[in-house]
Amino acid sequence: MPPMKHTMLLVAICASVLMLSTRHGNASATTNEFDVVMVAISSTTWQSIKYNIRTGEAWIAGSGKWTPIAEAAKIPEGKYAIKMTALSGDWAAIRYEVNTGDSWQCRGGAWVEIPHVTEEPADQPVDPKSSDEIEEQP
């Protein structure tokens, strides 16, 4: 095969593989409803949470089975993510809805909502020195 035809064939094969892998990647991104997060707590201990990315429902791994993490209240469907981190011999996890920012901390085997706090405006601006405290310079 002449070098030019060989190069064109190779380019066509690479383009086809790229197109097929892109289609497969997009298809799997839309059909995956579950994700798993995992952290190593020590060289022999780990912790893992499996969750539904659409409903936020989650389970914690333990004793060879998945145990549901309790909900304080029903949460709306959305697009959820969970982040975990290892602590000194322990772990922590936060679940959040990616569009609204609503979030929950996993505490004692249950999700506890982390409320958004808004600052209330002060009645009057605070001046570091009131007029009575200003010293006159000679």
pLDDT in tens, the chain (138 residues): 555 554 444 444 434 433 433 344 444 445 689 999 999 999 999 999 999 999 999 999 999 999 999 999 999 999 999 999 999 999 999 999 999 999 999 999 999 999 988 877 666 666 555 555 555 555
Tell me how far apart the alpha carbons of residues 116 and 132 are, in angstroms, rounded to a whole number.
38
State both tokens at 53: 């990315």
**67 and 4 in a common domain:** no
Q: Is the pTM here over 0.75, yes or no?
A: no
**40 and 26 in a common domain:** no
Q: CA-CA distances (angstroms) from residue 42 to 39, 47, 89, 90, 116?
A: 9, 10, 7, 9, 33
Tell whether 135 is covered by a domain. no
Q: Which residues in 97-129 are b (16+ Cβ under 10 Å) and which e?
A: beeeebbbebeeeebeeeeeeeeeeeeeeeeee
**27 and 40 in a common domain:** no
Tell whether 9 is covered by a domain. yes
What residues make up the domain containing 66?
A: 33-114
Number of domains in the chain: 2
pLDDT the model gives residue 124: 64
**60 and 6 in a common domain:** no
**77 and 9 in a common domain:** no
**110 and 54 in a common domain:** yes
**52 and 23 in a common domain:** no
pLDDT the model gives residue 5: 53
**38 and 14 in a common domain:** no
pLDDT the model gives residue 130: 52
Tell whether 122 is covered by a domain. no
**59 and 1 in a common domain:** no
pLDDT the model gives residue 66: 97
Tell whether 131 is covered by a domain. no
pLDDT the model gives residue 119: 79
**42 and 16 in a common domain:** no
Tell whether 109 is covered by a domain. yes
Place of tokens 């060879």: 64
Q: What is the DSSP letter of 135?
A: P
pLDDT the model gives residue 118: 84
**25 and 39 in a common domain:** no
